[in-house]
Amino acid sequence: MAEIRPFKGIRFNPGKIKNIAHVITPPYDVIDPQEQNRLHKLDTHNIIRLEYGLTIAGDNKHNNRYTRAASTLEQWLSNDVLQLDNSAGYYLYEQGFVFNGLEMKRLGIITALKLEPYGRQNVLPHELTMKGPKEDRLALLNTTRSNISPIFTLFPDPEGFMSNLFKYAKPEKALFEAREDSQQIHRLWQVHEPAVLEEITEYFRKRQILIADGHHRYETALHYSQIKSHTGDNNGTSFVLSTMVSMQDEGLIALPTQRLLMGLKKDVKKELMARLREHFVITESGMLDSLDLEKFRGELKIIGDEKCGFGLFCSGKAYLIQPNFNIRRGDLAISLLHEYILDKNKNVYGASLEEENALSISFEHDPAKCLREVKNGKADWAFILDEVPVEKIFERSKMGLVMPGKSTYFFPKLPGGLVLYHMDLS
């Protein structure tokens, strides 16, 4: 099944970086321009300079954010701002956070994961990807030969392997503890005892791995590995940095991603509604101005679990929508929404799924914000989805089925900069 190996991580030197929380960053795909600028200003050594550098007027193929990332990485290594660990190991990681007012934590193990085509069924995707982000990540790999942020992977753990590992293998002293203003707390330990490393490696040889977050980075790293294998460069390039979390972890939160549609013309609204009426049963659930959102979400959960149903805010009203046909094994509300409504956009919008920005679709995690956006006219329609249990996502992936892009949001995101994987040094 999955192949992992210990590695020598590259980490910030605590002798030179006093506050690790000021130099880590969220993954590139959730950083908007305002956050990008904020992180650049937060600390001159923030890892954003590698992960998602600024584009500057006059950039060219010889001087751009990717070449600057490579030169910054080289400079930080030579100045000992970043240091290579002396021995190879696995890294135990604890992420503390607050969700709905509750203090929570989840446990992970950071590894070098062997890159394999999805067809081998050892590493499974659950979402579709788009071309643009992969071109961006490939350009960064080409210059830095490093994974700045880990992909987020899950594994079935009915035996409680992860929690037991933390009980008997976690060193007494953490490498560091970082506390962010967002109330997130990050703790990292390195495990390098040979017997423990072998036990961990062997355990994952019997497990299928599900990609929770980082599909673009995984597929880019695989593509890069395949390119380099033709030149004999297939050692370090055959692995990708991965934080692996138990599917049974109590801190594992998979939120749905809602769809907001803006700028819909009258004929487009008419056609979309015709499609809904053809394939689904539509039930009014109240006026948006007086909608009890929690009650609506409770109703949505029932039809979501039983009928692969979803919600819709439009024209001042809330609706519950469920298919008028027999659902198939593996069907999910998000997959039916795209299959029957949103992915037939060529006739309506003149654009394909790969050009979702052209479809005037944006993505939002908070149903309350979706409600506000439709009520104040910033969005025309909002499709509201219930969360999908991770076990159901995993079973569907084992069937060879994937969800549309931006279907899930695993909260919180894993930060970049805690530990880096370098293809030549690690």
Residue 48, classified by CB atoms within 10 Å of its CB into exposed (0-12), middle (13-18) or buried (19+), is buried
Do the Cβ atoms of 281 and 321 come closer than 8 Å? yes
**Cβ(133)–Cβ(223) under 8 Å?**
no
Indicate whether 349 pLDDT > 80.
no
pLDDT at 306: 83
pLDDT band at 346 (very low <50, low <70, confident <90, very high): very low
Decide the pairing of beta strands 102-114 and 151-155.
Answer: unpaired
Residue 159 has pLDDT above 90, yes or no: yes
pTM score of the predicted model: 0.93
**In Å, how far are 1, 69, 331, 353 from 122, measured between CA atoms?**
5, 32, 22, 27
CA–CA distance, 229 with 14 (Å, rounded to integer): 36
Do the beta carbons of residue 198 and residue 89 sit within 8 Å?
Answer: no
pLDDT of residue 232: 75
CA gap 356, 358 in Å, rounded: 5
Please give the structure tokens belonging to residue 318: 């809330």
The upper half-sphere exposure of residue 246, i.e. CA atoms within 13 Å in the direction of its Cβ, equals: 21
Tell me yes or no: is domain 4-253+411-422 CATH 3.90.1530.10. Answer: yes
Report pLDDT digits (tens) over 43-75: 999 999 999 999 999 999 999 999 999 999 999
The three-state DSSP-derived secondary structure of 291-354 is: CCHHHHHHHHHHHHHHHCCEEEEECCEEEEEEECCCCCCCCCHHHHHHHHCHHHCCCCCCCCHH
Return the percentage of the chain with pLDDT > 90, whole number: 87
Q: What is the pLDDT of residues 189-209, one digit of tens each?
A: 999 999 999 999 999 999 999
* 227, two tokens: 């390119």
Task: Give per-residue pLDDT as tens, 256-286.
Answer: 999 999 989 888 889 899 999 999 999 999 9
Per DSSP, 113 falls in state E
Q: Rounded mean pLDDT of 239-246?
A: 98
Residue 347 is predicted with a pLDDT of: 43
| Each residue's pLDDT tens digit, 111-139 | 999 999 999 999 999 999 989 899 999 99
Mean pLDDT of 340-360: 54
pLDDT category at 179 given cuts 50, 70, 90 is very high
Task: Give the C-alpha distances (Å, rounded to integers) separating 112 from 33, 91, 218, 219, 257.
Answer: 30, 10, 12, 15, 29
Q: What are phi and psi of 315, to 5 degrees?
A: 50, 35
Return mean pLDDT, the chain. 93
Note the pLDDT of residue 350. Answer: 39
CA–CA distance, 356 with 365 (Å, rounded to integer): 17
CA distances from 330 to 157, 230, 386 (A): 22, 38, 16
Residue ranges, comma separated, of all CATH 3.90.1530.10 domains in the chain are 4-253+411-422
| Parallel, antiparallel or unpaired: strands 310-314 and 317-323 | antiparallel
Look at residue 354 in the predicted model and tell me its pLDDT: 38
